[in-house]
Structure 1
Amino acid sequence: MTLVFDNIRKPLGVFAKQAESQCYIKSIRNLGDAWRKLSDKTLPECDKNAIFVETTFGLDIKFTLDEVEISVARVTESEEAEQESPVPNIVTKLQSPDVDRVPTATATRPRRYRISYDWGTENLWREYDDLEPEDDGVTHMEVEDLLGSGSFPPSVMERYFAWSDTYNDTFKTRLADTGDYDRSLFATTPEHVAWLVAGYFLAWRIAMAPEVDCIEFSTGTKKWLLQKGKGLETKFTKEFFEIISDFLENGPDC
């Protein structure tokens, strides 16, 4: 399988340039003119055709000509401290409506989750067919019940809240407050693309945790069931960036 680098570079370049994306990006290397820093180190010859993305929430992605490698990176305490201040200022957290919550419980097996957009919630749910008796039939859950566990560095939950709050804040401002639910969620296509790329990377970071069997991520019309250890990284990432690249060219039909 050969990746079309233009389908990766353009959305990544948009993601890298958006102000709202900066809290998710630790570094992006070898993206060409779309993202370049004078301080970038020269890559070894074997990596000259690869693109590297390091996130601030412990996920590294390497794009090569024929595969995508996704791995968990260790986030040090000093890095966590440096990353704490920018996140809370991005958006104002909304008061959620009355939604039944799943009680906090220690998982005894890897669980299945989905990210599903519903204004006023935290957009994180258990899969319907994966409920336990103690869940009382409730699929919506507190983010802290999953991302507050010991296997996740604090930055994962912080970035997820920032990302989810961006959806809620934008939905309220552009749709709910105006009563115009036919307009696009984001004011510009680049804003929407950058938000989707951040969400896709966050979903993969969640999927890599030992207590997670899989997590569903959606652009709105296309869904992927992200699961570690199944060799899905290249196939799904290629599909995702093809859709996002088309979205950039033709508008929000993804």
Structure 2
Amino acid sequence: MGDSWRTLQDSSSTDDNESTIETSFDLSMKIKCDLNVTIKFEIPSRQCSTAFEEEPPAPKEGLHHYRIFPDYGTDFLWFNVADPSYDPPDTYVDSSEVLSRMHPSVAQGYDSWVRAYNDNFKARCEDTQDYSANVFGTPSEYVAWLVTGYLLAWRIALDPRVGSVEYLPGRTPHVLERGTETAATVAFLEEQAMLLANPMSHS
């Protein structure tokens, strides 16, 4: 997966109840634990006043809605039902076109994430002709990949031209849109904890 998940950093905060996770693909996640857990995502490049994403948000009816799910040999990105361009059966999206409008590190991280799955699938399933094999060798590798994808999906969802992203790496869909940061992330992390507690369920 390259450095896309290995460079996640937990930055110390002056608040003992708050921690920050910094990714290598232009996204920070702040977790605050008081009586309740609060999760907030920030995009560092916007705070640096770069040329990226300075345009105002698109009108609600013009926002894009995507699905991200693994399909060997593809870029994993598709139009979702609510997208203005949704036209089945041709719902495939060129990820390079979508991500080129964001900070360059987003495309780099996304490509590394997709390549990690495709490389593992080829080595463990296609080359061996054992399509029942787990794509990742250990539950921890699988969860690391899932978490990286989840954070990348949030980075895409927070683009001003995007209304939502449905992240579907397994059986449970996670719909990511502004205002659902805490609820969606808590539910997702609980699911990952269950995967680690039940190693036989990993893919």
TM range (shorter): 0.7 to 0.9
SS of aligned partner of 2:111: helix
Larger of the two Rg values belongs to structure: 1
Q: Which residue of 2 aligns with 1:82?
A: none
Q: Which residue of 1 aligns with 2:54?
A: none
Correspondent of 2:4 among 11, 23, 36: 23
Unaligned 5+ residue runs, structure 1? Answer: 1-19, 31-42, 77-107
Q: Which residue of 2 aligns with 1:143?
A: 95
Q: Which residue of 1 aligns with 2:198?
A: 250
Q: Deviations over 1:76-130 (max 9, x none)?
A: 7xxxxxxxxxxxxxxxxxxxxxxxxxxxxxxx92111000211100100111442
Distance 1:148 1:138 in 2: 21
- For residues 26 and 193 of structure 1, do their structure 2 counterparts lie closer, same or farther at Cα, with a shift above 3 Å needed? closer
Distance 2:44 2:135 in 1: 32
Q: Which runs of 4+ in 1 moved over 6 A?
A: none
Question: Is contact 2:4–2:113 with CA below 8 Å preserved after alignment?
Answer: no
Distance 2:83 2:116 in 1: 28
Question: Is contact 1:204–1:226 with CA below 8 Å preserved after alignment?
Answer: yes
Structure 1 residue 192 displacement after superposition: 0.5
Distance 2:106 2:83 in 1: 23
AA in 2 matched with 1:51 = S
AA in 2 matched with 1:168 = N
Higher helix share: 1
Q: Is 1:179 paired with 2:138?
A: no
Structure 1 residue 22 displacement after superposition: 3.5
Distance 2:28 2:10 in 1: 10
SS of aligned partner of 2:201: coil
Q: Which residue of 1 aligns with 2:83?
A: 130
Q: Deviations over 1:196-225 (max 9, x none)?
A: 110000000000001111111024011111
Q: Is 1:63 paired with 2:11?
A: no
Q: Which residue of 1 aligns with 2:57?
A: none
Structure 1 residue 252 displacement after superposition: 5.2
TM-score between both structures, scaled by the size of structure 2: 0.83
Distance 1:194 1:130 in 2: 29
Distance 1:157 1:21 in 2: 13
Q: Which residue of 2 aligns with 1:73?
A: 44
Comparing 213-222 and 195-204, the one that deviates more: 213-222
Correspondent of 1:164 among 86, 109, 114: 114
RMSD of aligned alpha carbons: 2.2
AA in 1 matched with 2:201 = D
The alignment covers a number of residue pairs equal to 186
Unaligned 5+ residue runs, structure 2? Answer: 49-60
Distance 1:129 1:226 in 2: 13
Question: Is contact 2:4–2:109 with CA below 8 Å preserved after alignment?
Answer: yes
Identity, % of aligned pairs?
34
